[in-house]
Amino acid sequence: MANKLELTWYGKDKEISVEPRLLIERPELSNTGEAPDTENMLIHGDNLLALKALEADFAGQVKCIYIDPPFNTGQAFEHYDDNVEHSIWLNLMYERFKCLYKLLESNGMFWIHLDDIEVHYCKVLLDEIFSRQNFVAHITYERSAVAGLGQGGYLVNTTEHILLYRKGTLPDKINLSYEELGFNIIRRYNRYVANFGSRKLIREFTAKSNGESVKVYEHTGVVIETISLRESKKRETEIRAAFAENIETLFRGNRVQKENEFQNDIISGFDKDKFYSVDYTPSRGKNKDVLTTLYYNNCELLSWLKDTTTLNNGMLTKSQKMTTLWKHSEIPKADIANEGGVSFPRSKKPEQLIRRIIEMSTEPGDIVLDSFLGSGTTTAVAHKMGRRYIGIEMGNHAYTHCKKRLDMVVSGDDKSGISKAVNWMGGGGYRFYELAPTLINKDEFGEYVINPEYSAEMLAGAVALHEGFTYEPDSEMFWKQSHGNEKSYLFVTTRHLNAVFMDSIIGSMEDDEYLIIACCSFDKGMDKLNPHIMVKKIPQMLLESCEFDKADYNLNIIHPPVYEDEEDCDDES
């Protein structure tokens, strides 16, 4: 298209027609626990094929997508051969992005985690798919303060990048957990509010100074964790459910904060062994937003404006704009290497990071998708947070890592990551799926034939998927096997279609009903027998719709193709 700004590369013009495959549940690998109706999905198989398989049922339904694809760094990792030629990486990611965009809900959010090798190319690529106005932010994520030790090169790289796009409108508020907010606010005081607990309104009145409402709350279940400033990489293990007698020295010295007379009166009525918070609008100063202050032992522990955060049923909702610099020290972490009970050297992301992303993007019950699941962090966190999820992993660690990790989450044996913060005790479940084999392949004579591994039911479901119908056999009419709209149907059969068979169908059809019959063979003239019936022959009817007999579209390509005009080009893209 003329005057269109876009990124080009070798192979972009060669469109990939991906075969929509069936997803076959493996009941022996599923773990439904005490949730027999669970909709959570763990899928093993090529993620492009799997994404295509999901389109029919999940297009426009996924609220949050987070992916952490191979970075294309040219390094060989234990579980990924991350050495993909640049143009191939772009081409294969491009196809995945298009599928992911279709799956995303109308107001969903898309996050992609990269390093600086491909992030800038990826930004231009995503601008093309999502449009530039739907770009939200480029987040710089500090992996670790010491992540660059031992690196060569001119500069030491300790950061990665997260690109965020929206599909529609952004939420009015960004949800953050208590510990996220508490950590960010009082990190400088060497104390971390691990849990603000719950609070109950005990008093409400109108301030005489400005006529504004004042609300007083009593807290239960507040948890404070000590953080060692001298050892920034280690955190003390002691969790304090209540402060010691020298509480005043922990935060702001031996002072009682007194903004004005009415505040001092409120404080004087507090029991010294309880936690309280007060919401009020200051009578002085330029800022007239509501201020929330947390107290213990008549001492102010921390204060924050309510336009920054709002206490609401155990959740702090952050409505001010977050910064795009996410520091290692600002995301509370546990022992990342051992989170989930699986080892994934140099590739595992902390559960707290994924929790932040899911909290910012979703509400309980929303669907979260990760098509580069890796060690299973995203599904583990989504499970603990009460979100539905779809996780796709093409490698063998779908079994050795992802399944193992989710089984521990379901049983409650996973005490790592965010488990303590969300009080995870186990429960829920998931279903394990494999991709069906290709529907059509070649026989020994080079002829296209239906894959003999397909049963009659699988064949009917697969053809319905290709033709855009929903496979849902009618209990009374055998030919109403799959339905399109209210009056259109698809019937797939391996029987030879003759006049007798056709008459048995025509006699039971209503005047306003339409039917497609897909069969392997039929008598001459059967395709013109009735204007309401279209007869197609399989596999011929499907051969031009997509690529068949393609095992995978993986990114693990070591030797890139050589193009004839490569010598004439200075750059691939």
pLDDT tens digit string along 519-528? 999 999 998 9
Q: Which residues contact 504 (CB under 8 A, 6 or more apart)?
A: none
> In the structure, what pLDDT confidence band is assigned to residue 155 with cuts at 50, 70 and 90?
confident
**DSSP SS3 for 30:** coil
Mean pLDDT of 52-77: 82
pLDDT of residue 316: 40
427-431, 540-544, 547-551 — most confident range: 427-431
Could you tell me which residue, 333 or 469, shows the higher pLDDT? Answer: 469
Q: Assess whether 190 and 101 both reside in one domain.
A: no
Q: Which pLDDT score, from 0 to 100, does residue 144 have?
A: 66
Is 353 a member of any domain? Answer: yes
Could you give the 3-state DSSP secondary structure of residue 51? helix
Confidence label for 255 from pLDDT (cuts 50, 70 and 90): very low
Residue 124 clears pLDDT 80, i.e. is over it:
yes
CATH code at position 116: 3.40.50.150
Residues 6+ apart with CB under 8 A from 394: 44, 45, 46, 47, 552, 554
Judgement on whether residues 111 and 212 belong to the same structural domain of the protein: no
Query: Are residues 201 and 163 part of one domain?
Result: no
Residue with tokens 């009145």: 205
Which pLDDT value is given to residue 150? 56
Higher pLDDT, 469 or 242: 469
Confidence of residue 428 (pLDDT cuts 50, 70, 90): very high
More confident residue, 334 or 445: 445
Per the model's pLDDT, the better-predicted residue between 280 and 58 turns out to be 58
pLDDT score at 284: 61
Quick one: what percent of the chain has pLDDT higher than 70? Answer: 73
Q: Is the pLDDT of residue 230 over 50?
A: no
- The encoded tokens of residue 321 equal 């704009």
Average pLDDT along the chain: 78
Mean per-residue pLDDT, 97-120: 93
With 90 as the cut, is the pLDDT of residue 498 above it?
A: yes
* pLDDT at residue 513 tops 70: yes
| Pair 137, 156 in one domain | yes
Report if residue 153 sits inside a domain.
yes
Residue pLDDT, tens place only, 339-374: 877 777 666 788 889 998 998 899 899 999 999 998
Q: Quick one: pLDDT at residue 263?
A: 66
The pLDDT-based confidence of 147 (bands split at 50, 70, 90) is low
281: containing domain = 176-318
Q: Which one is predicted more confidently, 14 or 46? A: 46
More confident position, 307 or 423: 423
Which of 372, 402, 435 corresponds to the end of one domain?
435
User: What is the reported pLDDT for 211?
Assistant: 81
Chosen domain end from 279, 299, 318:
318
Q: Is the pLDDT of residue 439 over 90?
A: yes
Cβ 351 vs Cβ 334: under 8 Å: yes
Residue 238 has pLDDT above 50, yes or no: no
In a domain, 552, yes or no: no
Residues 6+ apart with CB under 8 A from 298: 256, 267, 268, 270, 272
For residue 195, pLDDT over 90 is answered with: no
How large is the average pLDDT for residues 16-34?
92
- Percent of the chain clearing pLDDT 90 (strictly above): 43
Instruction: Round to whole Å and give the CA distance between 30 and 412.
Output: 16
Count of domains forming the chain: 3
* 28/167 same-domain check: yes
**Which residue carries 């026989």 as its tokens?**
443
Residues 273 and 331 in one domain: no
| SS3 state at 185 | helix
pLDDT attached to residue 151? 60
Q: Read off the pLDDT band of 90 (50, 70, 90).
A: confident
Best-predicted range by mean pLDDT (238-242, 255-259, 277-281): 277-281
Q: Give me the residue label for tokens 């020298």.
A: 246
pLDDT of residue 456: 92
Better pLDDT: 463 or 10: 463
Residues 50, 139, single domain; the answer is yes
- 355 and 469 in a common domain: no
Structural domain contains residue 498: yes
Report if residue 213 sits inside a domain: yes
> Residue 264 and residue 546: Cα distance in Å, rounded?
74
Let me know the angle formed at the C-alpha of 561 by 557 and 566, rounded to the nearest 5 degrees.
135
Is the peptide bond prior to 473 cis by the omega test (within 30 degrees of 0)? Answer: no
- Whole-number pLDDT of residue 234: 38
pLDDT at position 411, please? Answer: 95
Beta strand 62-67 pairing with 41-44: unpaired
Q: How large is the average pLDDT for residues 434-445?
A: 90
Asked if the structure places residue 38 within a domain, the reply is yes
Model confidence over 305-328: pLDDT tens digits? 654 444 433 334 443 446 888 877
| Local confidence band at 182 (pLDDT 50, 70, 90 cut-offs) | very low
Q: Assess if residue 376 is contained within a domain.
A: yes
**pLDDT of 243:** 32
pLDDT score recorded for residue 320 = 41
486 lies in a domain? yes
The residue that leads in pLDDT, 131 or 330, is 131
Q: Verify that 56 and 101 share a domain, yes or no.
A: yes
Q: What is the mean pLDDT of residues 171-196?
A: 51
Q: Which of 266, 297, 318 is the last residue of a domain?
A: 318
CATH code for the domain of 471: 3.40.1350
- How high is the pLDDT of residue 556? 45
Residue 285 pLDDT exceeds 60: no
User: Per-residue pLDDT for 232 more than 60?
Assistant: no
| pTM > 0.85: yes or no | no
Measured CA to CA, the distance from residue 380 to residue 419 in angstroms comes to 10
Q: 248 and 140: one domain?
A: no
Q: Residue 102 pLDDT more than 70?
A: yes
Q: What span, in angstroms and rounded, lies between the C-alpha atoms of 49 and 546?
A: 12
Specify whether 444 is located in the same domain as 512. yes
Shared-domain flag, residues 281 and 195? yes
Pairing between β-strand 159-166 and β-strand 275-280 as defined by DSSP bridges: unpaired
Average pLDDT in the 273-286 region? 76
